[in-house]
Amino acid sequence: MGNQASAGRPPQVSPEHLRPSPKVSQRAEFDERALRRAILERRLAPCTRGQDEASPHLDECPICMLNFPGGLNRSSCCKQPICTECYLQVAPRMSSRGVSCPFCKKDNYTVGYFGPPSAAARAKARQEEQLALASARKEPEPARGN
């Protein structure tokens, strides 16, 4: 299980991951060909099926709360992860025009896909999450003034 980059080889995306699940494709109107191209060109994460169970090898989409292998898209503005299916519901035209970021509300929402995060980046994210949880637990309820 090496971590070798497969440079020079065409990206391997199985055909079933080039389109979202029926529940999304029925609801959102989007250009399926453009989507397929974006995934093959690695501009969007493949539409892998999210899993309910969290795992150190998966990344959670904060919108649908499902866990995905292979890394998620990230917003250019605030670097928040989002799975391709949720992205399509936010920006069905895959264009930033008139779309604001679902996280920070900045206009012209765009995402990028950079592949799965490195083990180090994942460990750091997990650590930050743990710290955030711990401090949230420690924090006393704000005193009610009146």
What is the smallest separation between the CB atom of 8 and Zn ion, expressed in angstroms? 31
Say if residues 73 and 111 touch (Cβ distance below 8 Å).
yes
Token pair belonging to 108: 């012209």
Q: Are 46 and 8 in contact (CB under 8 A)?
A: no
Nearer to Zn ion, 64 or 125 (CB): 64
Cα→Cα distances 35→62, 66, 119, Å = 21, 21, 28
Q: What distance lies between CA 48 and its chain's CA centroid?
A: 11
Shortest gap between Cβ of 34 and Zn ion (angstroms)? 19
Residues that bind Zn ion (CB under 5 A): 61, 63-64, 75, 77-78, 83, 86, 101, 103-104, 106
**In angstroms, what is the minimal distance from the CB of 60 to Zn ion?**
9
Q: Which is nearer to Zn ion, 114 or 134 (CB)?
A: 114
Which residue number, 48 or 75, has a Cβ lying nearer to Zn ion?
Answer: 75
> Whose Cβ is closer to Zn ion: residue 6's or residue 27's?
27
Contact 30, 93 (CB under 8 A): yes
Tell me the closest approach of the beta carbon of residue 18 to Zn ion, in angstroms: 17
